[in-house]
Structure 1
Amino acid sequence: MYLIVGLGNPGHEYKNSRHNVGFDVMDLISSKYNIAINRIKFKGTYGEGKIGDEKVIFLKPSTYMNLSGESVREACNFYKISNENIIVIYDDISLEVGRMRIRKSGSAGGHNGIKNIILNLSSDIFPRIKIGVGGPKGNLVSHVLGKISGEDKIIIDRVFNAASEAVNIIITEGITEAMNKFNGFQGLD
């Protein structure tokens, strides 16, 4: 069983923002696998289904980004999911728009949502898919809460599709295969 978590902030005002790319990828994956994310529990919205032969839980925390770990911990405890079977999808300002990076573990890298997940799981060992949103030219908060538009939107949509495929590969073939295939990915083509 896998828990796939997309990070973001609830509320219409955050829709299509750089900070909500995790939610956006979850929406794409849930549509692809026909798994509705419409049940309320675990301080979030979730749905259950299958990818290949594996049961999956899709989770979008409703705690706001900085407290995402509370939602992840509740779902993990309920379903008895090991850290190695948690896949977290989120924005990364250290990666340029169009880049995606998959990691088995690691630090929070300054991301408060990941920092809170590490705190709540007492571990930094869990797979993650980082979606590049580029660094700010000015204020960080304005940047991450800003909307993705224009050429960046076209590029980021390609990354969302690649992230969706990466989730499938992590589950069906393993994280090493997904890292080998996608860590050089650029959505610029």
Structure 2
Amino acid sequence: MSGPGPAPIRLVVGLGNPGPQYRLTRHNLGFRVLDRLAERQGLVFRLTRRGEEAEWAVPGNGRVLLLKPHTFMNLSGQAVGPLVRRHGWPPAAVLVVVDDLALAPGQIRLRAGGSAGGHNGLKSLIEALGTEEFPRLRIGIGHPQGRMPVIDWVLGVPWGEDRARLEAAVDTAAEAVETVLTRGWDQAATRYNATSLLPGGGRAGGGDGGGV
């Protein structure tokens, strides 16, 4: 099925940092969503020079590549750009799963494009693809309170209610990616945009977090 433009999604990129010390951090939600998607679909990641890759033969859509870049967040474009150019995919065929400070913890939002909003992984992708016009699935992590530096927040492990919301968001985001690929962008956006995950699996509607 197609993304927000005429091009079908051919690549799903989960943003994060490689290494066990980062696995459960807020900044690694993109990796975790792809892991959950692979579990749901019975896919196995293989290690390549770009990172970890898995291929999904999506009924009615063809083959879609899942990629977790191992370049570290700030250099994600170095893994994605050459791959996209080699296959001749337009940027609109690349769906990026990314954590977002501008949304409340657990909130989900599909966007057809937009600025990096201070996210270094998105900034690297925009530079590599030469455009801001590629779709992304944003997962809210909220802002740090008090004087905590943003870098400590995004590289920290959530706890309490935030942890419950983000654990639920990983499941729902994996479902959202499946919906984009099997039923199309419009159906996915209608169903999942601004969805806030509550502890216990409940949902509460939310507004646009703004920003990216």
Moved more, 80-89 or 126-135: 80-89
Match of 2:179 among 146, 169, 185: 169
- Look up the SS of the partner of 1:113 in the other structure: helix
* Aligned pairs, number: 188
Q: Structure 2: how far apart are the matches of 1:69 and 1:86? A: 12
- Look up the SS of the partner of 2:48 in the other structure: strand
Q: Structure 1: how far apart are the matches of 2:90 and 2:42? A: 25
Cα deviation, residue 165, structure 1: 1.3
Match of 1:45 among 52, 60, 70: 52
Counterpart mapping for 1:10-159 below 5 A:
10-41=18-49, 43-53=50-60, 54-137=62-145, 138-159=148-169
TM-score (norm: length of structure 1): 0.94
5+ unaligned residues in a row in structure 2: which ranges? 1-8, 203-212
Conserved 8 A contact 1:91-1:130: yes
Percent pairwise identity? 37
Q: Is residue 160 from structure 1 mapped to residue 167 from structure 2 by the alignment?
A: no
Cα deviation, residue 74, structure 1: 2.0
Cα deviation, residue 2, structure 1: 1.3
Q: Report Cα offsets for 1:121-168 as digits up to 9, x if no partner.
A: 001111100110110121111100001233222211221111111111
Cα deviation, residue 115, structure 1: 0.7
Cα deviation, residue 28, structure 1: 0.2
- Look up the SS of the partner of 2:124 in the other structure: helix
Amino acid at match of 2:32: D
Structure 1 ranges of 4+ moved more than 4 A: none
Moved more, 44-53 or 12-21: 44-53
* Structure (1/2) with the larger helix percentage: 1
RMSD of equivalent CA atoms: 1.3
Q: Report Cα offsets for 1:58-80 as digits up to 9, x if no partner.
A: 10011110110111112212332
Cα deviation, residue 51, structure 1: 2.5
5+ unaligned residues in a row in structure 1: which ranges? none
Q: 2:190 matched to which residue of 1?
A: 180
